[in-house]
Amino acid sequence: MLVILGLMVGLVLGLTGAGGGMLAVPALMFGLQWSVTQAAPVALMTVALSASVGALDGLRKGLARYRAALLMAAVALPMSALGLMLAHRLPASVLTLLFMVVMVLAALRLLSSNATNESAELLIIPVNPNSGRFVWTPKRVLAMSTFGAFSGLLTGLLGVGGGFIIVPVLRFFTDLSMAAIVATSLMVVALVSSLSVLMVIGKLSLTSLMPALPFIFAVVVGLVFGRLIAPRMPAQRVQQSFAILMLIVATALGIQEFSMLG
């Protein structure tokens, strides 16, 4: 079951550039009967490893916008530290409820979005058609930093990679291609998750990691496969499928949590 769940998580991460941590945490909770607190650090390590593989592939192909990724990651890191601090002070039931709410909101936002930006007013950070790079201004730097800060907070608090925020943001407010959005998101996720892992590495033991090793390996395999088939998949269909999957997982988490309370 862990291998199957890992392949699914990796596939989603490779196709969408998001959702790795969002799905890795509940997968570990279901597969190993862990709490959010137990699953989050291992999910973070899994996302860091798999996203790094995808980010390197995006850089090699010239798809990742590394300046934007570095900016968002630089702002996200201190916010991730704040999220980690809060996570150790909140009850597990509160974290689970917060996790469910974030999943539902992200899914509904994806389902309500259009495949393309039809209004030029949404292009807060347009791409120069000649260079293919973002056109930066102080306001656009502030906007991108804000997006990065929010994703970093949720990375530390819930053990998610933040890609489920970054991908919709880049999709709604820039005119990047979907391939470039996924590559850029994976780079941000890889940077923030990897540095966040260093903050919690002391709390992870080999004993706690051993049961999750098949899952971690399967996620990497699934991501590589997802990256291979991503160019052949309709972006809108992938986005809608991911949103529906998040709603299903959130519902399953809610049923499990309420049954435990009962």
Give pLDDT tens digits for 99-139.
Answer: 788 778 777 877 776 544 444 445 567 777 777 678 788 88
Number of domains observed in the structure of the chain = 1
Residue 196: per-residue pLDDT: 75
pLDDT one-digit tens code per residue, 225-244: 988 887 788 777 777 777 78
Long-range contacts of 253-257 (CB under 8 A, 24+ apart): 253/26, 253/29, 253/96, 253/99, 253/100, 253/103, 254/100, 256/29, 256/30, 257/93, 257/96, 257/97, 257/100
Task: Summarize pLDDT for 141-176 with one digit per residue, the tens.
Answer: 888 898 888 888 877 777 666 777 787 778 777 888
Domain that holds residue 135: 2-261
